[in-house]
Amino acid sequence: MKNKKYQIIYADPPWKQTKGGLRRSRPNQDKDLDYPTLGLDRIIEILKEFDGKILFLWTIDKYLFDAQKIAELLGYKLHARLIWDKGNGVAPAFTVRFSHEYLLWFYKSPMFPIDKKVRGKYTTVIREKAIKHSKKPISAYELIESLYPNQKKIELFARNKRQGWDVWGKEVNSDIQLNSEGKFFSSQP
């Protein structure tokens, strides 16, 4: 089957990570996350399969600069760093609480224009309380949909299905599949 083309790629890679070190408050809890994580090389391989005009890439503080390098390696330029203020977060080593994540907005030249009706409407801060580990804010989808209303969109590493988007991920009925060589193909006509 032939690959579908997408103008907008939205990805929330499962960056290699654990729940932390010393577990005094929950000593019987596993250190591993509730889902498998990937190394940088595998994340690059997956993103390389898609050649969109726009890439929205989620990352955490630990991988901020790696995420930008990955996107640049794939031919993208940074447009903006959006910050999700989650209103809560983890406190590694019992220091400051990490209550934010980044949604990096990249483009391939020339910049794909946004819908004229929303120019200047949004800020670089998304304020929405986190409700579940790694579940991203609904307002991020709404932002992308209003910026690029009539473009083909795909969410990689998806956890749920959203109307108007194709998805790929372990926790969702995917619209695209991996073949035996690790290449993506459309599972729909």
In this predicted model, what pLDDT tens digit does every residue of 145-159 receive, in sequence order?
999 999 999 999 999
SS (H, E, C) the chain: CCCCCCCEEEECCCECCCCCCCCCCCCCCCCCCCCCCECHHHHHHHHHCCCCCEEEEEECHHHHHHHHHHHHHCCCEEEEEEEEEEEEEECHHHCCCEEEEEEEEEECCCCCCCCHHHCCCCCCEEECCCCCCCCCCHHHHHHHHHHCCCCCEEEECCCCCCCCEEEECCCCCCCEEECCCCCEEECCC
The count of other CB atoms within 10 Å of the CB of residue 117 is 9
Would 2 be classed as within a structural domain?
Answer: no
pLDDT over 70 at 181, yes or no: no
pLDDT for the residue numbered 189 = 53
Would 116 be classed as within a structural domain?
Answer: yes
pLDDT over 70 at 30, yes or no: no
In this predicted model, what pLDDT tens digit does every residue of 92-133 receive, in sequence order?
667 788 889 999 999 999 999 999 999 999 999 999 998 887
Number of domains present in the structure of the chain: 1
In this predicted model, what pLDDT tens digit does every residue of 45-100 receive, in sequence order?
999 999 899 999 999 999 999 999 999 999 999 999 999 999 887 766 677 888 89
Task: List the domain range (segments joined by +) for residue 83.
Answer: 8-186
More confident residue, 19 or 36: 36
Would 96 be classed as within a structural domain?
Answer: yes
Q: Structure pTM?
A: 0.85
Would 95 be classed as within a structural domain?
Answer: yes
Q: How confident is the model at residue 22 (pLDDT cuts 50, 70, 90)?
A: very low
Q: What CATH number is given to the structural domain containing 97? A: 3.40.50.150
